[in-house]
Structures are given as C-alpha cells and as structure tokens.
C-alpha cells in the first residue's frame, strides 16, 4: 500500500513512565541530616492526609452548591510533630529505599503472597 494513500492513517502514540521512588530518593539526598529529611517527609505525609480528608469530605457531602467551609484545625504554619509522625516518616523512607534497591525480590514476594492468598501453590 502506498504511504501517501488517503486510506493510510498516521498514528502517533506518546507514552511516559514515572519512576517515583528514585525521584524521591534523589530529593532526600539533598538534606544535610537524617532528621531534616524525616521532618520533610512528615510534613508531606501530613499534607497528603489533609488532602485525602478533603477529598473524602467532598465525596460524602452533598453537592448543593453551598460555599465550602474550611476546617481551622491543622492550618497553622508549623504543624505539631510527634514521635509517631517521625516513625511513620522513617518507615516511608525505608520503604522507598527498599523498593528502589530490591525491585525483583519485592516482586517475587508479592507473587508468592498473591498465590498464597488465593490458595494455589505450586
């Protein structure tokens, strides 16, 4: 078939892949100390929880067109950080490091776990 024929269509496909963990790890390397990195992750996790809370509240609330009231709790410039928050941040950082360092091992373990969940063992 002739490429200049009107029946031939030119198709262009754009694809992108996101490798989240390595980007986060590169950003964490910019911190001068472990404590500062954990604090940054704590703030990100708190912000993530806050945004998820808003999304859930918006889904539950009827869409009547009324003005949205913003909660006053948790809006201070420096949110309170406790030991539990720091531990959660530490676990999150370790998870990202492990995902980046051991992708094949994690995949194998997930396959085994999936097979065990459905009761099929080989």
Domain boundaries, the chain: 20-60+81-117
What is the pLDDT at residue 22?
A: 66
42, exposed or middle or buried, with CB in 10 Å at 0-12, 13-18, 19+? buried
What is the pLDDT at residue 18?
A: 56
The pTM of the full predicted model, rounded to 2 decimals, is 0.62
Over residues 42-72, the pLDDT tens digits come to: 999 999 999 999 999 998 886 655 545 555 5
103, exposed or middle or buried, with CB in 10 Å at 0-12, 13-18, 19+? exposed
Residue 92 CA to residue 43 CA, distance in Å, equals 12
Residue 43 CA to residue 38 CA, distance in Å, equals 9
What is the pLDDT at residue 78?
A: 67
What is the pLDDT at residue 118?
A: 78
| List of the chain residues with pLDDT < 70 | 1, 3, 8-11, 16-22, 62-78, 120-122
What is the pLDDT at residue 17?
A: 67
């Amino acid at each position: 078939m002739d490429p200049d024929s009107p029946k031939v269509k030119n198709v262009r496909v754009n694809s992108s892949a996101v490798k989240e963990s390595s980007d986060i790890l590169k950003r964490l390397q910019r911190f001068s100390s472990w404590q500062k990195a954990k604090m940054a992750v704590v703030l990100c996790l708190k912000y993530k929880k806050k945004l998820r809370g808003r999304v859930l509240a918006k889904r539950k609330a009827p869409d009547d067109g009324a003005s949205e009231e913003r909660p006053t709790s948790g809006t201070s410039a420096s949110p309170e950080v406790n030991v539990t928050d720091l531990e959660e941040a530490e676990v999150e950082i370790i998870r990202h490091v492990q995902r980046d360092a051991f992708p094949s091992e994690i995949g194998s373990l997930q396959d085994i776990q999936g097979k065990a969940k459905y009761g099929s063992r080989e």
